[in-house]
Amino acid sequence: MYGKMFSACLYGIDGVLIQVEVDISNGLPQTSIIGLPDSAIREAIERVRAGIKNCGFTFPLQRITINLAPADLRKEGSAFDLAIAICILSTSGQLILPQEEKLLLIGEMALDGSLRPVTGVLSMVDRAKRDGFGAVLLPRENAAEANLIENMNIYAISHLNDLVALSDREAGLASKDNNGPLRISSFAGLRTESVQYSADAPFHTEDYADVLGQHHVKRALTIAAAGMHNIMLMGPPGTGKTMLIKRLPTILPPMTEQEALETTKIFSAAGKLKEPAAGLLRTRPFRSPHHTISAGGLIGGGTIPKPGEVSLAHRGILFLDELPEFNRQVLEVLRQPLEDKAVTISRARAVHTFPARFMLAASMNPCPCGYLGSDHPGHPCTCSLARIAQYRSKISGPLLDRIDLQVDVPRPKEWTREKFSLSSADMRAQVLDAHARQIHRYEFLPQVSWNSELSGSALRRFTKLDSRTADMLHQTIEALGLSMRAYDRILKLARTIADLDGQEEIQSVHVAEAIQYRNLDRPQVETLA
């Protein structure tokens, strides 16, 4: 006797369809699972055996071989339990399923036959839809998440006995004296309906109107948000660096449907989708890991790699507070995802690629004591030039090269609320206008939606300078000893500044403003003065 069902697992953050094949033959009672299963899958047979028996079915006392195909792909997790159980019942003639639609089975089984939720359902159902499946049977706790994928029939059960209640009573196990098969004519009674979710902008209690002064920093943050440029704020303690960056999400444009789906799939695969019933994630992620984080925690890792903080910040912000306090080796792993917008993790059995299109936002003190340049008589800086240089050397030149805006945040001069203080609504209006210009300009470039993503010929095409402005930029590059990467990033930044000013042509004033944001690229003597 041979039977086949379909289930799925995660490969990185993407769903992969798996064929669950069951062969039942005569011989000594023995059950084996093949197809590169991990420990959780090998233990599935004991969960399934107990679950089948405790639901009133009979576990076949024969030789059972379970194959998970493709056999050369390592599988992990407990999502195959339901498919294995139903395939065994179907193959042994105890259960007859409807054949009108192609069905995917996902779920972990408890010893009493109840079903437990699994992670990564969104990616699995999305893959099933793209491969022509029309229906999914899964635990009830996963139904809200699965319903985020449109045009799929989502059937949910809490217990294997829910299938008994759904069956034709006169033909199945409703009577203990009837040993005939349990026939299910349709899963329609198990169908769950999707909910219409509001795509309105999220409500924020924090506002840039709360920040006293710091108009030049607000301008820099507006530029960063308009083009998704990396930014670092540097200043004495208590000047509002963290406060300013934590308000960045209030001025970012809303996510598109595709961006929301990408972000939600990552959180689902990582097991961090806390409220799937609320719909797709509409708020851009804001991740702020502690400075004791490891390299694996930041970029992802593990025996079977899982996404790290840079991927959880996809389409949002990764905030590193007190940047020099992070381990230098940890910071260095950021260089590749900042450049490639993706993280590639290689293992002996497979290579996983996780998306990582995020804005890096960082803050730091200017020196170890924190009061360099504070101009406050009660807090003079006590650090020597050597200590300051050693402190700043924790951030390498290649990493600084990838930070477009390096902004000083001085101690505020005014301590009373101003009559006019730029609010988040004002800044957001500027950002939305500039972003709309970028969407229109790059509509024929599928991989580009922000100025910071320009590269190669597209960068040269959309950042043309007149001869006078180009000469000024070249002279500045030579004087400061900047790299070609810094040169390109200045062009991207100038493109965003021009968009904020409503100009299609980049002018010398836009380039000059972009240059003055690279504070840490100035000569060391000037910086430490």
Digit-coded pLDDT (tens) for 484-511: 989 999 999 999 999 999 999 999 999 9
Q: Tell me the C-alpha distance between 59 and 255, whole Å.
A: 49
Residue 176: pLDDT band (50, 70, 90) is: very low
Q: Which residues pair with 63 in a beta bridge?
A: 25, 30
**For residue 21, what is the enclosing H or E element?**
strand 14-25
Q: Which of 117, 21, 18 is nearest to 75 (CA)?
A: 18
State residue 424 phi and psi, 5-degree precision: -65, -35
pTM value surpassing 0.85: yes
Is the per-residue pLDDT at 297 higher than 60? yes
Q: Give the pLDDT band (50/70/90) at residue 528.
A: very low
Give the C-alpha separation, 19 to 11, whole Å: 15
The Cα diameter of the chain in Å comes to 95
316: pLDDT confidence band, cut at 50, 70 and 90? very high
The dihedral through the CA atoms of 70, 71, 73, 75 has a sign that is positive
Please, which pLDDT band fits residue 175 given cuts at 50, 70 and 90?
very low
Task: Give tens-digit pLDDT for 92-140.
Answer: 999 988 887 899 999 999 999 999 999 999 999 999 999 999 999 999 9
In sequence order, what are the residues at sequence separation of 6 or more whose Cβ sits closer than 8 angstroms to the Cβ of residue 39?
none
Residue type at 199? A
Report the sign of the C-alpha dihedral through residues 226, 227, 230, 235, in that order. Answer: negative
pLDDT at position 168? 54
Phi-psi region of 210 (alpha: psi -120 to 50; beta: other; left: phi over 0): alpha
Q: What is the predicted pLDDT for the residue at 363?
A: 95
Report the mean per-residue pLDDT for the chain: 88
- Collapsed DSSP state (helix, strand, coil) of residue 373: coil
**H-helix or E-strand spanning residue 456:** helix 456-462
Backbone φ, ψ for residue 114 (5° rounding)? -75, 160
For the segment 237-289, what is each residue's pLDDT rounded down to a tens digit? Answer: 888 899 999 999 999 999 999 999 999 999 998 888 877 767 788 899 999 99
